[in-house]
A and B are shown apart, each in its own frame.
Chain A
Amino acid sequence: GDEIVMSNDILSVTFDQSTGVITSITNLRDGITVNVEQQYGFYKSAFKDAPMNFVEDNDNFKGDGKCLPGYTDAEGDEYPWLVGSAENWQNSGAYIFRPTIDQKLHNLPPKRAQSVVVYNSGLVKEVHSVFGQGGWIKQIARLLPGKDFVEIEYIVGPVPIDDGGKEVVSKWTTSIASDGQFFTDSNGREFQKRKRGDHNVFGPDQPNSDEPVSGNYYPVNSIFIEDTVHSFGCVVDRSQGGASLTDGTLELMIQRRTLYDDARGVGEPLNETDIGITPNPPYDNAERLGEGVIVKGHHRMIVGKGGSGASKMRGIMDSVFSQPHVFVASAPSGTA
């Protein structure tokens, strides 16, 4: 049919065969099914094509985080993608995550996966999916015996830079009535309850918010949402930024490639550029920059009953954060 179902002794995971994404995860032991919409997408990075030296030696360009929607410079040129003004602008860069004014997560076109391959062995089961134009995002969804998480191995890059920079996100949408709350833990010891719009300045719930996305991102080693019936969360393998920007959703930033310095001290864009120059404008000479890396990481997705999010996350943290150490040797057959 049009679904792929793979399962182990604890979980059953359903995929849409044409798009290669996960559509539901069932915890057979808890009798809990969470229907999900899995997607990869990116925020476009805000930037103003001011040359580097201009920015650095003109202090008031440092900005103070207060932003006005839209921007027109003295010559009347429009910079609609910018959030800010001549006095208060700020590029997205190493220290600052700032999407363009539309604050929109751009899905990866086209919706159909380039390829979906299923590997079904007696021990490990895998579904390989290649997404998006150019296939620069790939995923291996893996089930391991006796493990209550779906292991998502994402491979991202090189990230195309034709639009001035991308902040790549893995996002999950569920029907969980999380009521504006989500929980993040960034030290492997203590979950913090986050409330969307907590900062009283940012957040989609704040009518005058200008930074509804970055203002609700928090450092994550694990993140979950829950209601009285379901819990759904993720344990990452390296510290990342994450948020729940609308009820029932979870998103984690898995890669960034920005073309501009954010003038906060690094003096370089996040573009693996080891020649340290910033293009002006980026579109026509982007090829002179670093080629961009391919990163690989792991998310472990967990489903459980309402109220069990913290214990589910905590239960696998130790083994995820402290992988077994593998030492290998060889010797002629039959020696030892």
Chain B
Amino acid sequence: ASPLYELDDAMGVVQHHDGVSGTSKQHVAYDYAKRIAGGMNKANSFVTDALRKLLLNSNEGVLDNLTYCLLNNETICTVSQEASREGSKEDIYVIVYNALAKERHEVVSLPIDSSSYDFVEKLGGEQSDWVPVKSSVLPNANYAQVIGAASDIMHFEAKDIPPLGASVFRVSRLEDEVLSSTSIPAVPRNLRRSVQNDM
């Protein structure tokens, strides 16, 4: 009956050596993927609900679209991409969960569809104080030709994520006058294209 069972079950099935080594027939490989995706979808809604209750003490109506970006590694995350497009008046909230039993520092990458610079803050000790963190936005080369991949990738520093715990970050749009003081724009230098392009 657990909402995590379907994922558990799928991972059990994929322990077959064909699943682990990728030596199955093609349609079997698709079946493994389908089972895992089904399990992940179930687990996603359960875990996001739990996180929302645990971290945000929220009642209904706050951060309803909290979701686990399954295709983050393919630079696709509809929630952050939509919220980052020009003209959007939304902030992006990111919950970074650390499953290790030790504190960790990581650079988290977030697919966004805007190269203008956003401002990242981490929710500090008190609910109300947000502390700026280092961030930068780099263009997504999308060498894997993924359809729907984000145009840019925001990287931000997630320090001191607690063991078996999570940190909350907020990404908001920078107003122009703040730009120069907070983050350094990436300087693309293509050694092969003309200087004009570099400008």
The reply to whether A330 and B26 contact each other, CB–CB distance below 8 Å, is no
Chain A 273-293 interface mask (CB, 8 Å, partner B; 1/0)? 110100000000000001000
B96 at the interface (CB under 8 A from A): yes
Size of chain A's interface in residues, with CB distance under 8 A?
53
Which residues of chain A in 284-325 are interfacial with respect to chain B, using CB atoms and an 8 Å cutoff?
A: 290, 294-296, 318-319, 322, 324-325
Residue among A273, A290, A294, A332 making CB contact with B144, cutoff 8 Å = A294
The reply to whether B23 and A94 contact each other, CB–CB distance below 8 Å, is yes
The stretch of A113-121, A171-179, A195-203, A209-217 in contact with B is A113-121
In the complex, what's the smallest C-beta–C-beta distance from A119 to chain B, in angstroms?
5
The reply to whether B66 and A328 contact each other, CB–CB distance below 8 Å, is yes
Chain B 49-82 interface mask (CB, 8 Å, partner A; 1/0)? 0010000100000111111110011100101101
Q: Which residues of B contact A122 (CB under 8 A)?
A: 134, 136, 183-184
The reply to whether B155 and A330 contact each other, CB–CB distance below 8 Å, is no
The reply to whether A325 and B96 contact each other, CB–CB distance below 8 Å, is yes
The reply to whether A328 and B77 contact each other, CB–CB distance below 8 Å, is yes
User: CA–CA, A272 to B23, complex, Å?
Assistant: 11
The reply to whether A17 and B191 contact each other, CB–CB distance below 8 Å, is yes
The reply to whether B93 and A330 contact each other, CB–CB distance below 8 Å, is yes
The reply to whether A329 and B157 contact each other, CB–CB distance below 8 Å, is no
**CB contact under 8 A between A273 and B26, given known A120-B189, A328-B69:** yes
Q: Which of A118, A332, A336 has the most CB of B within 10 A?
A: A336
A333 at the interface (CB under 8 A from B): yes
**CB contact under 8 A between A119 and B188, given known A325-B68, A327-B97, A328-B110:** yes
B36 at the interface (CB under 8 A from A): no
Q: Which of A140, A276, A327 has the most CB of B within 10 A?
A: A327
Q: Which residues of B contact A138 (CB under 8 A)?
A: 141, 143
The reply to whether A324 and B172 contact each other, CB–CB distance below 8 Å, is no
The reply to whether A332 and B104 contact each other, CB–CB distance below 8 Å, is no
Residue of A nearest to B21 (CB): A239
Q: Which residues of B contact A270 (CB under 8 A)?
A: 23
Q: Which residues of B contact A128 (CB under 8 A)?
A: 141
User: CA–CA, A51 to B68, complex, Å?
Assistant: 47
A110 at the interface (CB under 8 A from B): no
Residue of B nearest to A155 (CB): B143
Residue among A144, A329, A332 making CB contact with B107, cutoff 8 Å = A144
Q: Which residues of B contact A327 (CB under 8 A)?
A: 47-48, 51, 66-69, 94-97
In the complex, what's the smallest C-beta–C-beta distance from B53 to chain A, in angstroms?
13
Q: Which residues of B contact A130 (CB under 8 A)?
A: 143
5 CB-based A-B contacts, threshold 8 Å = A296-B73, A327-B69, A332-B90, A333-B172, A336-B63
18 new A-B contacts, CB < 8 A, other than A123-B107, A329-B95, A330-B92, are A4-B191, A17-B191, A116-B190, A117-B189, A119-B138, A119-B186, A121-B185, A121-B187, A122-B183, A138-B141, A140-B143, A145-B134, A272-B26, A324-B158, A324-B161, A328-B77, A328-B93, A336-B56
